[in-house]
A = this chain, B = another copy of it.
Amino acid sequence: MNTADLRLPVDVPSTALFTDQYELTMLQAALRAGTAGRRSVFEVFTRRLPDGRRYGVVAGTGRVLDAVENFRFDAGVLGFLRERGVVDEATLQWLADYRFSGDVWGYPEGEVYFPGSPIMRVEGSFAECVLLETVILSILNHDSAIAAAASRMSSAAGDRPLIEMGARRTHELGAVAAARAAYVGGFSSTSDLAAGFRYNIPTVGTAAHAFTLLHDSERDAFRAQVDSLGRGTTLLVDTYDVAEAVRTAVEITGPELGAVRIDSGDLLLVAHRVRQQLDELGARDTKIVVTSDLDEYAIASLAAAPVDAYGVGTQLVTGSGHPTCSMVYKLVARAESADPNAPLTPVAKKSSGGKTSIGGRKWAARRLDAYGVAETEVVGTGPVPDELAGRQLLVQLVKGGEVVGREPLDAVRDRHAAARANLPLSATQLSRGEPVLPTEYVHERSGN
């Protein structure tokens, strides 16, 4: 399928082009040098959490599985690479047959992570693994950043539902992934229809200020909305005067009015006033939704206010100050020859300028304290100590090229809630601090 000629804004025929050019030039050079077939282990990890954050949230794993499955070089892509002279004919021929045939292990989606956690591990020939670097990092870095912000917001919101409404503040397809990641992090619904279509996330929405302004009066607008959407709808009450709008709203609907939405002003003050007014008007079951430039701190500050739901846009889709993670995809071990039985040698960058990492294929386990609460993230090479064998974090996601780790998004969302609940209480403090679990490295003495 090549959709380029339809001139859709979305017209990348497969995931294979979500790739930095150097992945292909490395492939070409390795094919020619005879090193492309060396068995290799790449790992995704981060050296640090965003400044002040207590934990990270793995999100995007399901999208990575889709991307790996659809990573193929069709005629249109190969023609582009040939025309541009990106790689030589031998490499193009190799790419034409490309199908990832290796293994992927990873933290299950929704799990929390810490500096050094081996979030994903990709094993196969160097050639087949190196090509996946860019798209895997794009997905995990974006989605995990959004999920981390969503998790903090949902923790601040407690039992009150959160609505994701940031589509207009980010790339139109980034928005779809953001809605998915927000759901993983604890949001209940999204305004984004594409996210409902693609991921079956509940969608919500009623009206904007434009609808009120379109009509000759606020009363006309409210009546038009209620006539069409019913008394259970949410009326936006801050186009002109909030108190007058609330009075008009309840006049039209009676006490069955579903909700009012407040999108500007001092939300704490206005919510209290509106609650009192609604109660006085007998609309005791009418809910209050607030939606103006909220982040986790604003949500927390409204904890004692009579607010029933929060709509969050900008700060959600921009990761609340941290729009990306710093996950990297590093070669940590490779065979010394293309012989499939050649042993693996740990490798790592070693220059003095920083960005060093730990070589060797890693396992990870979470040690619990006497009360069953997570205490330490243990990352090691070599054999797993017996006492941690049952607490290992990595699960198999792809086996011999076959995706085996796909799961429903609700299971992922539940996993995140459970993983967060198992962290020390300080995890949900919004204040800046150290990662809530220390990472302990268990090194094997020799190579693995």
Contact = CB atoms under 8 A, between A and B. Distances in A.
Interface of A: 1, 3-4, 6-12, 14-15, 17-26, 28-30, 32-33, 35, 38, 40, 42, 63, 66-67, 69-70, 77, 80-81, 84, 86, 88, 126, 130, 133-135, 137-139, 141-142, 165, 167-178, 191-194, 196-198, 203-211, 213-216, 220, 223-225, 227-229, 238-242, 263-266, 270, 292, 314, 317-318, 323-324, 326, 329-331, 334, 336, 347-355
A334 to B, nearest CB: 6
Q: Closest 10 interchain pairs by CB?
A: A265-B353, A21-B205, A22-B205, A33-B224, A264-B353, A137-B168, A171-B174, A29-B228, A17-B194, A210-B331
Which of A12, A175, A192 lies at the interface centre, i.e. has the most chain B CB atoms within 10 A of its CB? A12
A353 B193 CA distance: 29
A347 B314 contact: no
Count identical subunits in the complex. Answer: 2
Contact of A18 (B35, B86, B169, B194): B194
B134 A167 contact: yes
26 contacts: A3-B3, A4-B197, A9-B63, A9-B70, A12-B194, A17-B193, A19-B192, A19-B193, A20-B167, A20-B193, A22-B208, A23-B208, A24-B205, A25-B229, A26-B206, A29-B211, A30-B211, A33-B223, A126-B214, A135-B172, A142-B174, A171-B173, A171-B178, A173-B173, A174-B174, A265-B354
A99 to B, nearest CB: 15
A318 B324 contact: yes
A26 B203 contact: no
